[in-house]
């Protein structure tokens, strides 16, 4: 059963209690203090509750239909709007990344903002969700989104500086770091590019040669849950938006209305999807 929408807005809809939910668009899980305050005020004013969704949106529940216009105006005053619903490019979910997290390999919040500003709200054949995690042990499960980005660092060594202290061996979770004859060695077959050895090396002998993101497509978190396919194992920050643009072109060209990205990829095969996306001008220029 489809919920009744208010004035055709898919993010403002009737719930079982006969009242309305306003699902507020939030990008990268970030809100300004004044926005948080206003959400609380609106909830209090119109007798509603606030729910944090699993995808980092904030839902104001229990708003009577007659109060919706006033509530939406109050939210608009602080730059808040309903969104992230229906057949659209949804809000971008993100962890805090390198700005705040000690374990991060890459920046996330700024990237979420950039992707959100560029794509969120655009019509897509099916709902399209994006998740970003700042490291290869991601809290946000980016692999289970239609588009998933996982921060990575390619570590390199300056053997001159290495003292053989073994701190890198201690912090490496996958056994890719070792010390042989007093000098550190990286086993790139095992290395998942988390960058923890880089940030923990006391003398800067390990350094970041390159950072970027592992790029997943076609993941789904519902039933049955599916991990996405790995489109590319390393995408530089400046390539992310052009690759998303190309994915959307391929998806819109080939998918029937309502088709989720995963179904579309299955309908043509992942290798064919990858060929179409990566044979674009953007990729040729690499």
Could you say whether residue 131 binds ligand SF4 (CB under 6 A)? no
Report the residue from 42, 193, 243, 265 that binds ligand SF4 according to the rule CB under 6 A.
193
- Cβ at position 130, least distance to ligand SF4 in Å: 14
Closest CA to 133 of 154, 156, 155, 111: 111
Q: Tell me how far, at minimum, the Cβ of 191 lies from ligand SF4, in Å.
A: 3
Interacting residue with ligand SF4 among 163, 178, 208, 280 (CB under 6 A):
163
Q: Are 277 and 216 in contact (CB under 8 A)?
A: no
Q: What angle do CA 148, 52, 96 make, to 5 degrees?
A: 45
Give the nearest distance from C-beta 244 to ligand SF4 in angstroms.
Answer: 20
Which of the stretches 41-49, 64-72, 128-136, 247-255 binds ligand SF4 when contact is defined by CB under 6 A? 128-136
Mark the segment that binds ligand SF4 (CB under 6 A) among 60-68, 155-163, 252-260, 262-270. 155-163
**112 forms part of the interface with ligand SF4 (CB under 6 A):** no
Among 32, 70, 139, 236, binds ligand SF4 (CB under 6 A): 139
For residue 187, report the phi and psi dihedrals to the nearest 5 degrees: -95, 100
Kindly indicate which of the ranges 40-48, 96-104, 239-247, 258-266 contains the residues binding ligand SF4, using the contact rule CB under 6 A: 96-104
Hey, which residues between 195 and 254 contact ligand SF4 (CB under 6 A)?
Answer: 195-197, 201, 203, 205-206
Count of residues interacting with ligand SF4 (CB under 6 A): 40
Q: How far is the CB of 199 from ligand SF4 (least distance, A)?
A: 9
Complex with ligand SF4: residue 126 or 138, whichever CB lies closer: 138
d(CA 244, CA 119): 9
Binding residue for ligand SF4, selected from 48, 95, 217, 277, defined by CB under 6 A = 95
Judged by the rule CB under 6 A, the positions of this chain that interact with ligand SF4 are: 95-97, 101, 103-104, 133-135, 137-140, 155, 162-168, 171-172, 174, 176-177, 179, 184, 186, 191-197, 201, 203, 205-206
């Amino acid at each position: 059963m489809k919920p009744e929408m208010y004035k055709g807005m898919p993010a403002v809809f009737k719930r079982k209690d006969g009242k309305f939910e306003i699902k507020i668009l939030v990008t990268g899980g970030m809100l300004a203090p004044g926005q948080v305050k206003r959400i609380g005020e609106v909830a209090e004013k119109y007798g509603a509750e606030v729910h944090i969704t699993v995808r980092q949106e904030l839902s104001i529940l229990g708003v009577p239909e007659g109060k919706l216009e006033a509530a939406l105006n109050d939210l608009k005053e602080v730059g808040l709007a309903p969104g992230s619903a229906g057949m659209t490019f949804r809000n971008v979910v993100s962890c805090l990344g390198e700005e705040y997290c000690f374990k991060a390999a890459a920046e996330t919040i700024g990237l979420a903002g950039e992707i959100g500003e560029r794509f969120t709200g655009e019509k897509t054949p099916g709902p399209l969700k994006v998740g970003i995690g700042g490291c290869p042990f991601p809290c946000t499960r980016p692999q289970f989104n239609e588009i998933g980005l996982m921060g990575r660092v390619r570590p390199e060594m300056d053997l001159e500086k290495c003292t053989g202290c073994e701190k890198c061996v201690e912090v490496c979770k996958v056994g890719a770091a070792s010390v042989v004859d007093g000098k550190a060695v990286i086993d790139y077959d095992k290395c998942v590019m988390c960058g923890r050895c880089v940030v923990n090396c006391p003398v800067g002998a390990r350094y970041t040669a390159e950072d970027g993101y592992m790029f997943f497509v076609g993941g789904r978190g519902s039933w049955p849950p599916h991990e996405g396919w790995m489109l590319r194992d390393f995408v530089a920050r400046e390539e992310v938006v052009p690759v998303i643009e190309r994915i959307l072109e391929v998806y819109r060209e080939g998918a029937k209305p309502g088709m989720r990205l995963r179904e579309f990829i299955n309908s043509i095969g992942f290798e064919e999807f990858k060929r179409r996306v990566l044979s674009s001008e953007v990729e040729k220029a690499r």
